[in-house]
């Protein structure tokens, strides 16, 4: 059975089991005991995914830069890539903001669900708001300085911490870029050992991701089971509405935005491409 089929079965199983247990009207102590056993499965799955992000970004970016080899070529490609990224990212943000303003998926959340989400994620929301308020006070110069990490190891350890005052993942990407450029500059003879280490790290991380994906059906089932048990099935309708809007946004970007770029810049038929 293919992985996506297993994940789909896990989604259905989590939803159905959550609805069944919720309808049984079990005592609060029993529900807490069930949650205590099921919840770690979902969290373990998510943690396995998150723990591969940093080594994957670091190794993939460095290897990509080193593979280009020519620093002049890298500079030209980097300039084009930055322009492309800024333009496409701006368009993507506009599409996202436009779809949210038109469809407003948050309106479909019931008052009970809103209250639960507020209580459950109050601390995270407060930290995120404080972080946002601090960033608003920063100048463009401060933001640029933050991208360059004082301690790359610290940024790797706190990349997913909302209270981290550094650049997070962007700082790690900058460090990987500089490391790749420096390795290219010193040549393969001196950079060889580090290059072999990063190649091995990249291959190992892909294997770990494979392990995590094998756990995906059970992790997804556990996450949805707890969500349905704590919030109810109404939230799934809102979630499905949100997912539909996201898919619509991705479709617009893929078929319209990328289609126009292919047609104008590469003179290629988007449908044939």
Q: Does the pTM of the predicted model rise above 0.85?
A: no
> What is the Cα 259 distance to its own chain's centre?
25
Looking at the predicted structure, is the pLDDT value of residue 101 above 90? no
Looking at the predicted structure, is the pLDDT value of residue 19 above 70? yes
Looking at the predicted structure, is the pLDDT value of residue 44 above 90? yes
Looking at the predicted structure, is the pLDDT value of residue 32 above 90? no
Average pLDDT over residues 109-132: 67
Long-range CB pairs of 197-204 (<8 Å, 24+ gap) are 198/58, 198/59, 198/62, 198/63, 199/59, 199/63, 201/55, 201/58, 201/59, 202/56, 202/59, 202/60, 202/63
**Residues contacting residue 61 through CB under 8 Å, at least 6 positions apart:** 173, 176, 177, 180
Compare 50 and 261 and report the one with higher pLDDT. 50
Write out the two tokens for 129.
């708001």
pLDDT value of position 212: 92
Write out the two tokens for 157.
């350890």
Cβ–Cβ < 8 Å for 222, 42? yes
Cα 270 to Cα 256: distance, rounded to the nearest angstrom: 9
Compare 218 and 149 and report the one with higher pLDDT. 218
Nearest alpha-carbon partner for 202 in 94, 57, 72: 57
For the segment 199-208, what is each residue's pLDDT rounded down to a tens digit?
999 999 999 9
Cβ–Cβ < 8 Å for 18, 224? yes
């Amino acid at each position: 059975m293919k992985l996506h089929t297993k994940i789909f079965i896990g989604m259905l199983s989590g939803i159905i089991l959550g609805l069944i247990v919720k309808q049984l009207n079990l005592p609060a102590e029993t529900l807490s005991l069930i949650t205590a056993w099921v919840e770690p499965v979902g969290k373990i799955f998510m943690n396995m995914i998150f723990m591969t992000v940093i080594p994957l970004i670091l190794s993939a970016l460095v290897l990509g830069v080193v593979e280009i080899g020519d620093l002049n070529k890298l500079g030209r490609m980097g300039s084009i890539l930055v322009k492309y990224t800024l333009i496409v990212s701006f368009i993507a943000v506009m599409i996202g903001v436009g779809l949210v303003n038109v469809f407003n998926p948050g309106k479909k959340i019931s008052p009970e669900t809103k209250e639960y989400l507020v209580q459950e994620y109050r601390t995270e929301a407060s930290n995120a708001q404080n972080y946002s308020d601090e960033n608003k006070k920063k100048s463009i110069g401060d933001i640029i300085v933050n991208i360059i990490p004082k301690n790359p190891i610290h940024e790797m350890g706190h990349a997913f911490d909302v209270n981290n005052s550094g650049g997070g993942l962007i700082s790690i990407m900058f460090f990987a870029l500089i490391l790749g450029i420096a390795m290219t500059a010193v040549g393969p003879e001196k950079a060889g050992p580090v290059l072999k280490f990063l190649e091995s790290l990249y291959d190992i991380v892909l294997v770990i991701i494979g392990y995590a994906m094998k756990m995906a059906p059970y992790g997804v089932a556990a996450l949805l089971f707890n969500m349905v048990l704590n919030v109810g099935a109404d939230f799934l309708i809102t979630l499905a509405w949100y997912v539909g809007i996201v898919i619509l946004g991705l479709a617009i970007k893929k078929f319209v935005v990328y289609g126009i770029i292919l047609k104008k810049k590469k003179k290629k038929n988007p449908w044939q491409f």
